Structure 1
Amino acid sequence: MIGKLIGAFVGDKLAKQTRGVDGATGAVLGVVATTVLRRLSLPAMLAIGAGGYLAKKFADDAKKADSGTSTKTSGASTTTTAKTI
């Protein structure tokens, strides 16, 4: 019972930061998430976490590519040479 209340509270707080989800929906999602996580095995939880991380990373990379920003530097570089006497 307390786990469901904590899940609802956390879901409500996350819903306030997420566009398109209101507080009640977030609370319900929090309760459902705690119920589902209780029934999953540890390898399944790790796989879901890794999949979520990779999906977020892929989405961020796609967003960067669409906006045209790049983290690479230009190919031009300057070199200096010294003469020996």
Structure 2
Amino acid sequence: MIGKLIGAAVGREIDRRDGRGGVKGALIGVAAAGALRRLGPLGLILGGGYVAKKAYDRHKERRTMTGRS
């Protein structure tokens, strides 16, 4: 279940980067979920790390836009 959630988050990040949304991110998310399951715990760490880094970068960008350091 956690793998599916991380796969969905990866797909959402792909769609955000693309800017258009649609099926591409969903398909990549499904593929990522399958790959994460096959890699086992290492896959969960890699997928979770990717999503966490994207969230951190987005947070950091918002802080610089508002003028806080």
Scaled by the length of structure 2, the TM-score of the pair is 0.49
Q: Which structure has greater helix proportion?
A: 2
Q: Which has the higher contact order (CA 8 A, sep 6+)?
A: 2
Scaled by the length of structure 1, the TM-score of the pair is 0.43
Bigger radius of gyration: 1
